[in-house]
Each structure stands twice: as structure tokens, then as C-alpha cells.
Amino acid sequence: MPQENKIKLSVVIPVYNEAPYLPSLFEDLIKYFDTNDTEIIIVDDGSNDGSTEIINDFKLNKNYNFDYKTIRLDINSGKGKALRIGIKNSCGEYVLLQDADLELDMKDSLEMYQMIQANDEIKCIFGSRYLSGKLKKNNYFFNNLVGKINSLIFNIFFSQSLSDVHCGLKILRGSVVKKLNLTVNDFGIEIDLASQIVRNNFFIYEFGVSYYFRTKAQGKKISWIDGIKSFYYLIKVRFFDNNISTNLSILYSSIYMAYVGSHFGMGLGNLLFIICFFIIGTIIGIKFKILSSTVIFVSIYIGSFFGKGNGTSLSVLIFFIIGIFLARYLKKYFLNSKINYLF
């Protein structure tokens, strides 16, 4: 008979040039997760500042009860690559993703672990640096702004309400991990991870965490450039990693709504209406597939026969809202049917 897996929790920690922080990191691991049903997986992403030696010395220490694994990458390949390798080598019932830089309090990690254990309905929890109730050391304005804009765009693209999609502290059940097919190598891994969780119909819970922002001088790795690159990943995971039915729906909806927008305004105003309606159509195409989108558009068409002048615009708006409600009902009704990909 195969031996039952005794590992309850896998803690995956990517490390790149974090020598000053590793001793405190190991102290916290022993303080909060020193049990024989826990495995700690350190993925050294090509460090060259002495981190490798500290990681190996701790292994010789043996002053701990958890299972300690180390993986060394010969060259620096990015946080995403390190996380993917760590996750692939994990075997716990729960997988905790933890940064090594001590910006996030490991006490919060333990609380998140206790929460997901206590409630079978919770499949994953994301830490959030923006939810209230925890101690914060604020980061730079631009970093903060880009992070919030990224979260907003993610929410629009995937119909979510997350406050912090980029937080490095997350815990997932093994059932969620098995569904993931992560491909990103750099900091865009957070977008890749969140999008795949949503696409597999898992609800993401959030937990407010303490945050102690580091400066570049203190070893901060992520920059505003990574924030800009996140916009690329948002576009990629939403518009290029879809199945055929979703892509067709986006194309169909955006073109139709742009056509509707072309009937409003004149000159530059007309162009602005076309752009705005194109964006609305794109969002409809993301949210609804071909048949449910058609219900919305038929409703708009019917509404165009009522009223005159501004009254027609009001009628179209009312019928558009009615169409949205009908489309949502149909999507829910056919959710478990063989033709759900059309709704």
C-alpha cells in the first residue's frame, strides 16, 4: 500500500539575494511553523550575495522539526520561475506562498493557514496590504498607484472585487494547486496565478496583512517597470489565454457595440462614443458568451424602436439593463449544461 502523505502544509519561499533577512526568516519559520507535518521549500533563484551559504548552513543546523528542502537554480530566472518550481515540488494538503524579504509578517501567514483549515468552503486566501486593521509602512506613491490600478483592471476583466492582486502572501488548497498551469517567470506570476484560480471557478478570499515596505537600498527587487509589465500580463491572460468561444464572443460583442456607438454624437464626439461602446462590448464579451450576448443586443435593438430623440437613448439604456439581467439568468440556468460555453 502507498504510504499516506504526512505533509499537511508546504511553505514555498523564493529567494534571490536576501542574505540580510534570511536569519530572521528562519527564526520566524521555527516560531510559527515548526511542526513535523510541515515542509519548507526554499528555492534559491541564483543568489550571489551569500544567501546560498546561509540556506545551506541552516540545513545543517537541524534545530527544527519541519521537513526542510532546498532547490538551487544556477542562474537568476525570476520570482515566477522559482515559485513554479517550488509549487511543483510541494506535496502538502495546503500550499503557502511566502516572500523571503520580511515585508509581510509571518504571523499573518499562520492566521491565514488556521483560517483555511477551519473552513472547508475556503479554497484559497490572498493577503491584502490595503485592507484595514493591520500595521502598515507605506510604499512609494507610484508603486502604490500602479498596484491599485492593476487590481482594478483585473477586477474589471474577471468580474472580481480584489483589493490587492499583487500581494506575495497566498495560501491555496492542494485541490486548487492541481488545477494550475503557471507559465510566467517574473513578477507577473501574481496575475497568472490569480487569473487561473478565477478561471477554474474558485472564489478568492482576502485577509488584511501587515506590510513593512522596503526601499531599493534595503533590497527591494520589484520596480515601477514591473508594474507596467503587469499591464501586459493583464492583457495577455484576459485576451490571449482564452478558449475559442470566449475570443469569438469578445470580437462579436466589441464590434456590435462599436456599431451602436457610431449612432451617437458627431465628429470627435462620435469617435469617443465608438471607443466607449467598444470597451463596453469587450467587457460584455468577457462576461457573456455568444448566445447570452445576443440576448443583450436584441434587447438594445428592441429598445431603439421606442421614444424619440433623447427618449430613444433612454429606452435603449432601459432595454440594455433588461438584457443584462436576462443574460445573467440564462448564464446561470445553463451553467451545468452541455452548451454552457455558449452562454
137 falls in which pLDDT band (50, 70, 90)? low
Considering only CA atoms, which of 151, 192, 142, 187 is closest in space to residue 168?
Answer: 187
Tell me the average pLDDT across 96-114: 94
Q: Kindly list the distances between the CA atom of residue 71 and the CA atoms of 17, 26, 43, 213, 293, in Å, as whole numbers in the listed order.
A: 15, 16, 5, 27, 48
Q: Give the global pTM.
A: 0.75
- Pairing of β 170-173 and β 124-128: antiparallel
Backbone angles phi, psi at 68, to 5 degrees: -110, 115
- Pairing of β 67-73 and β 38-45: parallel
CA angle (150 as vertex; 14, 223 as ends), nearest 5: 50
pLDDT at 119: 96
Helices (H) and strands (E) in the chain, counts: 12, 9
Task: State the virtual CA torsion across 255, 257, 259, 264 in degrees, nearest 10.
Answer: -150
Considering only CA atoms, which of 155, 207, 154, 201 is closest in space to residue 175?
Answer: 201
In percent, how much of the chain has pLDDT > 90? 47
In DSSP terms, 11 is beta-bridged to 40, 96
Report whether pLDDT(1) > 50.
no
pLDDT at 224: 65
Write the pLDDT tens digit of every residue in 55-80: 999 988 778 999 999 999 999 999 99
The three cell numbers locating residue 233: 500580463
Match 500602479 to its residue by C-alpha cell: 146
Give Cβ neighbours of residue 214 (< 8 Å, ≥ 6 apart): 101, 103, 220
CB 175 within 8 A of CB 201: no
pLDDT at 74: 92
Write the pLDDT tens digit of every residue in 278-299: 888 888 887 788 888 889 889 9
Of 214 and 278, the structure prediction assigns the larger pLDDT to 278
Between 14-18, 94-98, 260-264, the lowest mean confidence (pLDDT) is in 260-264
